[in-house]
Structure 1
Amino acid sequence: MTSKPPAPAPADGARLIYLMGASGSGKDTLLRLLRGHLRDDEPVLVAHRYITRDSGDTEDALRLTSEEFSRRAALGCFALSWTSHGLSYGIGIEIDTWLACGAAVIINGSRGHLAQAHARYPALTAVEVTVDPALLARRLTGRGRESADQIEQRLARAAQTFPVPAQCRLVQVSNNAEPEAAAAALLGIAREKLAG
């Protein structure tokens, strides 16, 4: 079964926030905190990811088998999808409906696939969560998900630069201090999108 490309996006993605950062930078924590500070009537939505591994309790993701992921990709169910570290990740096509309804939408993306997201949503805002390397190493070790070699590989990858498409707005949010501050900064970006 071959992958069916998603239908063209209904909007330019002006209210789309493409969150990215190294594994262990705290993206899931920031998204959880952000949700807790939303007003009841505030149209800010966080898209869950589809992943071909167990996501645990700390991540807003749905696990799919590799076969089910491929089946959904073939049906055009993903607005964005990519592979990383031998896993498949997808963002559901439903985000296009949310954007068309006037919501600001935040997705947990990948630095390596920013160009793909920007090509589909040229007016998105990319937000990179940055963390001091020593702190990142402690966080990766503390979560107990990877071996020491895997952690070293993730730290090396975190230090690499990544391509940012021309005309792509990139904002950096530091998550070195209390995560509430970084979550507030992220929520401020989402509210700015709604006001714009």
Structure 2
Amino acid sequence: MDTAPAEGHQGCMVAVVGPSGAGKDTLMAHAARFFEGREDVVFVRRVITRDAAAGGEDHDGVSEAEFEALEKAGRFAVSWGAHGLRYGIPDETRDAVADGRLVIANGSRSALNRFRAAFPSLVVINVTASLDVLAARLEARGRESREEILRRLQRSSLSIEDGYKVVTIDNSGSIEEAGKAMVDALSGCLSARP
């Protein structure tokens, strides 16, 4: 499929957010395979202050000093810190949206105001799962006990404040079901373009 953006179409930024263990990376990878080869759909490769070989999402790993230099040089459309790491969305994503493309980035609920400031045509996909499912997935990572995980999850809000266009996907069940919901949500963004 080699679909280029139609001339005059407004692009859109989609920020995919949700708690650890919700399966954001898995759903984004599923959608990336579905839209593979389409020029009008771009999945963002984030810059993170984490070793690129550390596992998880495919990203550009940089040191704290390199991240600071990139940020000062204006190389990020959006940047934020969370869980002891720094995250950046490359500035080129603005051009992709301006060119009429659908751009999908792994975001953060804490940075949504920054995404909205950089990308007025913002859609938020909020990936959730039941507390039991989140706890089981996080427990499998082996970093915290089940009790610590449940206490942390019960303290955090899984909702998005008003004022954003939000699509919520429950990823408590099968990847096929949640993956279809992700593809449908992104397809809806494509068809909603003028």
Q: CA deviation at 1:87?
A: 1.1
Indicate which of 60, 63, 84 corresponds to 1:86.
Answer: 84
1:187 maps to 183
Q: CA deviation at 1:107?
A: 0.6
2:49 maps to 52
Indicate which of 121, 126, 137 corresponds to 1:128.
Answer: 126
Q: Is the 8 A contact 1:118 1:124 kept in 2?
A: yes
Q: Is the 8 A contact 2:11 2:96 kept in 1?
A: no
Equivalence map 1:40-189=2 (5 Å):
40-41=37-38, 43-54=40-51, 56-144=54-142, 146-148=143-145, 151=149, 154-156=152-154, 159-160=156-157, 164-166=161-163, 168-189=164-185
1:3 maps to none
- Tell me the SS of whatever aligns to 2:121: coil
2-structure distance, mates of 1:38, 1:138: 30
2-structure distance, mates of 1:191, 1:47: 17
- Tell me the SS of whatever aligns to 2:87: strand
Q: Is the 8 A contact 1:21 1:128 kept in 2?
A: yes
Q: CA deviation at 1:115?
A: 1.6
Q: Which amino acid aligns with 1:59?
A: E
Unaligned stretches of 5+ in structure 2?
A: 1-9
- Tell me the SS of whatever aligns to 2:181: helix
Output the TM-score relative to the length of structure 2. Answer: 0.83
Q: CA deviation at 1:134?
A: 0.6
- Tell me the SS of whatever aligns to 1:187: helix
2-structure distance, mates of 1:130, 1:73: 30
Change over 3 Å in CA distance of 1:46–1:39 after alignment to 2? closer
2:6 maps to none
Number of residue pairs matched by the alignment: 181
Q: Is the 8 A contact 2:22 2:127 kept in 1?
A: yes
Q: Which amino acid aligns with 2:26?
A: T
Q: Is the 8 A contact 2:11 2:101 kept in 1?
A: no
Q: Which amino acid aligns with 1:83?
A: G
Q: What is the RMSD computed on CA atoms of the aligned residues?
A: 2.2
Q: Is the 8 A contact 1:118 1:165 kept in 2?
A: no
Change over 3 Å in CA distance of 1:110–1:95 after alignment to 2? same
1-structure distance, mates of 2:160, 2:30: 29
1-structure distance, mates of 2:11, 2:153: 32
1-structure distance, mates of 2:152, 2:11: 31
Q: CA deviation at 1:163?
A: 5.5
2:24 maps to 27
